Amino acid sequence: MIVSQNNHPQRQLYYLGAKTLAILNRKGGASDFFEAYQELKLEEDISLMLFILTLDWLYLLGAVKSEKGWIEQCF
């Protein structure tokens, strides 16, 4: 579920997606998968699975694309 009243706001895909996009923006619009994960983990202490779910959601929205281990913003 994308929005749930049972989870803290910091665990919602909207929030984590915004944090991920902010990280990519700081890095010039692109970042290595694991570098982006490590930076977000320092800020929010999330699991790798939740990070992958966040990237999947951003990909479905057309906000990011992935190629050869790099994550790039699409806007």
Domain count along the chain? 1
pLDDT tens-digit series, residues 5-33: 666 677 789 999 999 999 999 999 999 99
Domain limits for position 19: 10-73
pLDDT at 71 over 80: yes
Residue 72 has pLDDT above 90, yes or no: yes
In this structure, is the dihedral angle defined by the CA atoms of residues 45, 21, 6 and 56, taken in order, positive or negative?
negative
- 24 located within any domain: yes
Q: Is 4 inside any structural domain? A: no
Distance CA 55, CA 61 (A): 10
- Does residue 2 belong to any structural domain of this protein? no
* CATH number for the domain that contains residue 16: 1.10.10.10
Evaluate whether residue 5 is within a structural domain: no
In the chain, the percentage of residues whose pLDDT exceeds 90 is: 79
DSSP string, 10-69: GGSHHHHHHHHHHHHHHTTTEEEHHHHHHHHHHHH---HHHHHHHHHHHHHHTSEEEETT
pLDDT at residue 75, rounded to an integer:
85
